[in-house]
Structure 1
Amino acid sequence: MIANKSLSRLMAHVTPGRLLSLGFVLVALTGAQAQETAAPPPLAGGSQDEIKQFCTNIADAARDQRYLLQKQDLDKLQTEVNDRITVLEKRKTEYEDWLKKRNDFMKQAEAGLVDIYKTMKADSAAPQLQETNPILAAAIIMKLPAKQSGLIMAEMDPKKAGVIAAIMASAADPLTSKDPS
C-alpha cells in the first residue's frame, strides 16, 4: 500500500518528457545489467591451475596423435620405397640377363670376326677395321697374331691407328678394371 502511494506521488510529478527520459534510463540500466551477466566471471587462482592441468593433459594426447600421423606417413613412404626396390631388383635381374646374352653373343661374334680377319690380307683388313668402332677394332686386333696386327696397323690411317693403339694400351693397363660393372 505504501508502494502505491509512493508511485502515485511520483506519477503526479512525471511529465511526458520526464517519462521518456526515465524510459531511456531504464533501458540503459537493463542493457548494462545484461552485459554484466553475459561477461564471464574473472578467473580465480584455482581456475588457472585447472587450465594448466587441462592443457597438460591435452598436450600428451595431441603429441600422441601427431606421432601416430607421422608414423602412418612413414609407413606409407616405407611401403612406396619397398615397392620401388622390388621394381628395381626386377629390372636389375632383367638387365643382367640381357647383358649376359649380349656378352655371349659378342664373344661368339668376336670369335667369328677374329677368324675372318685372320684369313684376310692386311691391306684389305685395315680399311674395314678403321671404319668400325675403335673399341671393337682394338679388340679384334689384340686377338690376332702380333705379326698380322702390326701389318694391319701399318696399313691404317695414322690417326685412327693411334686411337686404336691407345685403347689397346689402356686395356693392357693393370690399373684398369676388368669388370665393366
Structure 2
Amino acid sequence: MTVTVSKGLIRRLLALSAIVMLVPQVSAQEPAAVSATSPESEIQQFCTNIADAARDQRYLLQKQELEKLQLDVDQRISVLESRKAEYEDWLARRNDFLVRAEAGLVDIFKTMKADAAAPQLEEMNLEVAAAIIMKLPARQSGLVLSEMEPQKAGMIATIISSASDPNTSKEPS
C-alpha cells in the first residue's frame, strides 16, 4: 500500500505537531511567570499597599507639629499680655505721679515771686515751663513772662498760643 502524501500536507502535519507540542510548554510557563514577580513589581506593590498608611502618618506628624506651634504661639501671647498689663500699670502710675507732681509744681510757682520764678522757668524744658505758666493766674503769668529773657518768653508764648489753637491736633499722627 502506497500512500502518496503531498508536500503541503506534510508541512501542515509538521506545523500542527509542533504547535501541539508547544502548547503544553507555554501553558506550563504562564503560571510560573505570574508567580515569580520581579523585585521592581514587588516594590511597586509594597509602596501601593503602604501609601495610605504613610499619608496618614505624615498627616499625623504635621498635625502634631502644628499643635506644638500653636502651643508656642499661645504661650508667647500669654507672655505679651502679661507684659502689656505690667506696662499699662506702670504707665497709669507714671501718669498719676506726673499729675500730682505737676499740681505740686504749679502750687510752688504760685507762691513764688515773678523775679524768682522767671530764671528757674527759663532753665526748664520750654514745654514744661509753658504748661506751668498756663496754670498760673493770668496776672502772675504776665509778671513771670516779663521777667524772662525776651527770646525765651516769646518761645513760651508761642507754645501757649499753639496749645490753645483749635486747628492743632491733640492726637499725634
Q: TM-score range by the shorter chain?
A: 0.5 to 0.7
1:1-181 → structure 2 map (5 Å cutoff): 43=38, 47=41, 51=44, 54-174=46-166, 175-177=169-171
Over 4 Å off, 4+ runs: 41-44
Change (3 A) 1:115 1:61: same
Residue 85 of structure 1 aligns to which amino acid in structure 2? Answer: I
The Cα RMSD (Å) is 3.2
Number of residue equivalences: 135
Q: Which runs of 5+ in 2 are unaligned?
A: 1-35
CA offset at residue 129 of structure 1?
1.3
Return the alpha-carbon distance in structure 1 between the equivalents of residues 78 and 59 of structure 2. 28
Compute the TM-score of the two structures, normalised by the length of structure 1.
Answer: 0.58
Change (3 A) 1:83 1:121: same
Return the alpha-carbon distance in structure 1 between the equivalents of residues 97 and 103 of structure 2. 10
Structure 1 vs Structure 2: percent identity of aligned residues? 69
Deviations 1:61-80 (A, max 9, x none): 33332222222222222212
User: Which residue does 2:6 correspond to in 1?
Assistant: none
Compute the TM-score of the two structures, normalised by the length of structure 2.
Answer: 0.60
Query: 1:126·1:156 contact (CA, 8 Å) conserved in 2?
Result: yes
User: Which residue does 1:19 correspond to in 2?
Assistant: none
Change (3 A) 1:59 1:109: same
Query: 1:170·1:176 contact (CA, 8 Å) conserved in 2?
Result: no
